[in-house]
Every structure is written in structure tokens, then in C-alpha cells.
Structure 1
Amino acid sequence: MTRRLISSGSPFEALAGYSRAVVDGDDIFVSGTTGYDYARMTLPEGLAEQTHACFANIAAALAEAGASLDDVVRVRYIVAQRDYADEVFPIFGRYFATARPAATLIVAGLLQPEMKIEIEVTARRRR
């Protein structure tokens, strides 16, 4: 089995030395992903919009790896403020209604003050 790197096209990936995702056999490891539109390098202002954009970015990386959000087995959510949880929980539930992955929510400061959420997932392609 071969290891394959997937890039979002963000210049930060090369600068910081990481990939949006790494495919290793049937396992897909998606890096912590924010809601940036990597083509324009813009970030939506609202929490809900950033959350939906995170999922869009993650879904694109998974699709390139031959998987989908339904293949996610582990997710880590990082939110900048604990009071964000009530707003994002229903959004998480919509995207993971089928997969129902093991999940952790962490409250922590993010790299830029405008970032409200970051999501990291691990998926496993089904045979």
C-alpha cells in the first residue's frame, strides 16, 4: 500500500510542512481544518458559516482520497469559546448522522483571532 499526500492548495501547508490529508492504505488522516476558502484565502465571519466551510473542506479532501464524511471514525473539534458548543452541536449532528464517529470537543485558542472552529478527522475507506 502506498502513502499519498493531499493538499488543499493553501500556501500555509508548504510553509508549515504539512498536508491537508494523508492517505495510508484505507486510513485517511485529515489535518485540523478551519473554514478558510483556500482559493481566495478568506474566512467567513460567523461560527455556523465557518463550521459548514470546515466540513466542505474536509469533505473535499476525503473525496480526493476516495471516501466521504460517512467514512469518518474519529473527529476532534476545537472551538475558541465554550459557549459555541450549543450552536455547533446540531451542525455536527447533521454532517455525522450516518457515521456517528468517536468525538472529542476541546476549547482552546486558535492560531488567528478570527478563527472560531477547527476540525480534525480520521476516516477509513470501506471495502
Structure 2
Amino acid sequence: MSKKWISSGSDFEKLAGYSRAVIENGLVHVSGTTGFDYATMSIQDDLAAQTHQTFKNIQAALQQAGASLDDVVRVHYLITDASYFSEVAPIFGQYFANARPAATALVVGLVDPRMKIEIEVTARIPT
């Protein structure tokens, strides 16, 4: 199977040499995704709003690949403060109630201080 690339349209993808998602061998690998609204390249300060926008961005990439959040098998959550987890965990549960993917949560520093969360997923394309 050939490889297919999906772009969000962000100039940063070309600059940094990556794709929003890569499809290969029936899997969709979605890059670390943040709460930026790609249409306006703006980000809200509110953690919950960033988290919801992040899922919206991931859903858009998965949809282009022919998959959905229900097809996610692996997720990595990257948050900038451990105290954020209690606020975002119920949001994760809302989006992954059906998929229940294998998950890892890490506390990290992100490349833009406005970002509070980044999420990376792998999904299977339904057959």
C-alpha cells in the first residue's frame, strides 16, 4: 500500500517537514495536534477550549483519511502541567467513549507557551 499525506494547510508543516497525518498500511498516524484554529491561526487561552479544538482538528484529519475518533487505537496526551489532567480527562472520555484506545499521558514543555495540550493519535481505517 502506498503512503498518503494529509495537510491541515498550516505553513508550519512545510517549514518543519511534516504532515498533519500519514496514511499507510490501513493506519492513520495523526501528528501531535494542538488547539490552534488553523483557519485563523489563533489559540484560546482556556484549557478546555484548547482541548475541544484539538479534537476538532484531529477529527478533520481522520475524516480526510476515511476514519473517525471511534477508530482510534492509540493516543498520547501531552499536557504542560500535571494539574490539568483532572480537567481534561473527562473531555478525553467524552471523545473516546466508544474507541477506548490505549493511552499515555505525559507532562511536557511545548514549543509555543500558549499551548497547554497536544494530542497524537493512531487510528485504523475501517474496512
Query: Could you say which TM-score interval applies, normalised by the shorter chain?
Result: over 0.9
CA separation in 1, counterparts of 2:15 and 2:31?
15
CA separation in 2, counterparts of 1:10 and 1:110?
18
Q: Could you list the runs of 4 or more consecutive aligned residues of structure 1 that deviate by over 6 angstroms after TM superposition?
A: none
Q: Which amino acid aligns with 1:3?
A: K
CA separation in 1, counterparts of 2:44 and 2:4?
30
- List aligned pairs for 1:36-115, cutoff 5 A: 36-115=36-115
Q: Which amino acid aligns with 1:69?
A: L
Q: Secondary structure at the match of 1:64?
A: helix
CA separation in 2, counterparts of 1:125 and 1:116?
29
CA separation in 1, counterparts of 2:76 and 2:10?
21
CA separation in 2, counterparts of 1:33 and 1:120?
6
CA separation in 2, counterparts of 1:76 and 1:97?
16
Segments of 5+ residues of structure 2 without an aligned counterpart are: none
Match of 2:23 in 1: 23
Query: How far has the Cα of 1:39 moved from its partner?
Result: 1.4
Of all paired residues, the percent bearing the same amino acid is 62
Q: Secondary structure at the match of 1:29?
A: strand
CA separation in 2, counterparts of 1:86 and 1:80?
13
Query: How far has the Cα of 1:25 moved from its partner?
Result: 2.7
TM-score (norm 2): 0.98
Q: Which amino acid aligns with 1:52?
A: H
**Per-residue CA shift, 1:9-37, capped at 9, x if unaligned?**
01000000000000013100000000101
Q: Secondary structure at the match of 1:86?
A: helix
CA separation in 1, counterparts of 2:21 and 2:112?
21
- List aligned pairs for 1:112-127, cutoff 5 A: 112-127=112-127
TM-score (norm 1): 0.98
Aligned residue pair count: 127
**Per-residue CA shift, 1:93-125, capped at 9, x if unaligned?**
000000000000000111111100000000011
